[in-house]
Structures are given as C-alpha cells and as structure tokens.
Chains A and B, each alone.
Chain A
Amino acid sequence: MPRVVRQAAVAWQGSLSRGSGTATATSSGTFELPIDLPSRISDKPGKTSPEELLAAAHAGCYSTSLAGEIARAGGTVERLDVTCTITLDEVEGKGHLIVSSELDARARADGIDKAGLERAARTADDGCTFSALIRASASVSVRAVLESS
C-alpha cells in the first residue's frame, strides 16, 4: 500500500487570547490562512479555525467516499453537494471538545433510487477515514437527499 504524506505548518506569535498565527498548506501550497482565538470561538468568525479546517476535511473526505459508493451501487453521479458542520463545545470537567460532526449531502445522480442512496450514504460514512476517526470521540450524523437531475 502506498503511504501518502501531507503536511501543514503554523507560525504563532504571542499569547492565546491576544496572539495570532498563520496556517500554511506545506504540501500543496494552496493556502496560507490567518488564525486567532476570537475567530475560533465567536459567533461571527472572520478567520478560519481548526474546526473549520476539519469541517472542510470531513466534507471533502465524505464527498469522495459517497461518489465511490454511488458508482458501486450502479449509479452515475452528476453532482454532489456536501456540507459539514463541526461543533466545539465546553464539556464539564473536560474543557473544550469537538462534540459532533454533521454531514448534509444532496445528490444528483442517475441509476439510483432514494433507498439506494440512503444505503450508499451509510456505507460512505463507514468508508470515510475521517468519520471513522472522529466517531471514536464525537457523534457523526449523515443526511442524504436525492435531487432529480
């Protein structure tokens, strides 16, 4: 099996509450993003955060997994729209924890019916690397809807 290695780096200056940093995609060079604490915990984030990056990772992981499962079930994917929402919460006695990841998928595909899509959506969740990892410590939920193409 090939081993694939992906790296990102952060430069942080100062304290947590008043400091700030930059997160850089070292492997692909595709992003260099400012980060700070207020953006991580406030209602109106202007910058990205570890949880938003995980939401992007999970939506990406799940969409590839679902594309594969729909094809395996005999369907043809025209388009998938997947949104992931990750919740960070303060849990008594444990501090801040990532408590849930919710996946919402809308599929436009031929050759698969509603029941088939729901099965594929569950299998895709089982097969998505990140779902499997995060399920050990948080809840993962999946909703999948078939749209007419």
Chain B
Amino acid sequence: MAAERRASVTWRGDLMSGSGTIDEVGSGSFGPLDVSWPARTEESSGGKTSPEELIAAAHASCFAMALSHGLAQAGSAPERLQTAATVTFVPGTGITKVALSVRGIVPGLDAAGFQAAAENARENCPVSQALAAVPEITLDASLDS
C-alpha cells in the first residue's frame, strides 16, 4: 500500500532577499514555518528551519523507527532510543554528509549486537535509501546502561 505525504510552500520575491513559508502539511501537524536563503546558508539558522534541517528530522525519525523494528524482531525491544542526524550542506555543491548517531537503552543486548542492528537500520531505512547518493553517511552508536 502506498502512502502519500504532502507539504506546501509559498515563496515571495527573489532568492537572496525574498522568503518563504512552509504553509501546510497533509497531516496538519506543523506549519507555518519560515524559510529563507540566508537562514539556509549562514552558519546560524537565525531561528528558521531549512530543507537540510527537515531532511535531518526525516532521517533521524526514519532511522529510529527502523532500529526499533530491527531490535524488536531480534528479540531485544528497545526501552528508549535517542537518535540525531546532522546534515552538512555546501552551497553550490549540495549535501556532502549525514552524520547519524544513536544512544539506546536496550535490555539484554550487548554493544556489538546494538552496533550491528544500528548498521542495518542505517543501510535499510527508506530515507537512507533515498539519500544513498550522499557521499558520506556516518554512524555513531552507543548503549546507555
């Protein structure tokens, strides 16, 4: 079964001095959120989100879901997973790196087992597959006691 997900953006003006708004999303769960080119490309986000931050949120979410599923299927359901994705964007070049990290509380699993499950989730979650053309997707996985 296919699931469609939708988002709409309004942009006003030119690239450098104009700005946009993510007006609405199909779920109605967020928006409006402001976006602009300076907020996207300067070191500080200036309190606005950006395509790269949204990609980071998508990847961290997808990775967490895939990992929880993989762990449960292997008989070690997680109590808690804390994932993060850090996207590096070089204007003019594109997204050069995604750094995934996870800290987990998983009763009955050792570090090697957790590492293997995390590697598998990184390889196979749908967002990782969609972003397979990114030159570097790194992983840092550790268990919390």
**SS class, residues of chain A in contact with chain B:** mixed
B41: min CB distance to chain A, Å? 6
Report A-chain residues with C-beta under 8 Å of the C-beta of B20: 60, 63-64, 80
| Cβ–Cβ contact A64 & B35, under 8 A | yes
Number of chain A residues whose Cβ lies closer than 8 Å to a Cβ of chain B: 87
Point out residues on B near A: beta carbons under 8 Å.
1-15, 18, 20, 22, 25-30, 33-35, 37, 39-43, 45-65, 68-69, 72, 77-96, 124, 126-127, 129-134
- A132–B130 alpha-carbon span in the complex (Å): 11
Shortest Cβ distance from A31 into B: residue: B30
| Cβ–Cβ contact A53 & B81, under 8 A | no
| Cβ–Cβ contact B54 & A57, under 8 A | yes
- A89–B1 alpha-carbon span in the complex (Å): 6
Shortest Cβ distance from A129 into B: residue: B94
B97: min CB distance to chain A, Å? 9
Point out residues on A near B: beta carbons under 8 Å.
1-16, 19, 21, 23-31, 33-35, 37, 39-43, 45-61, 63-64, 66-68, 71, 76-90, 95-99, 129-130, 132-134, 136-138
| Cβ–Cβ contact B15 & A11, under 8 A | no
Report A-chain residues with C-beta under 8 Å of the C-beta of B8: 59, 81-84
Report A-chain residues with C-beta under 8 Å of the C-beta of B130: 54, 97-98, 133-134, 137-138
Shortest Cβ distance from B28 into A: residue: A46
| Cβ–Cβ contact B27 & A6, under 8 A | no
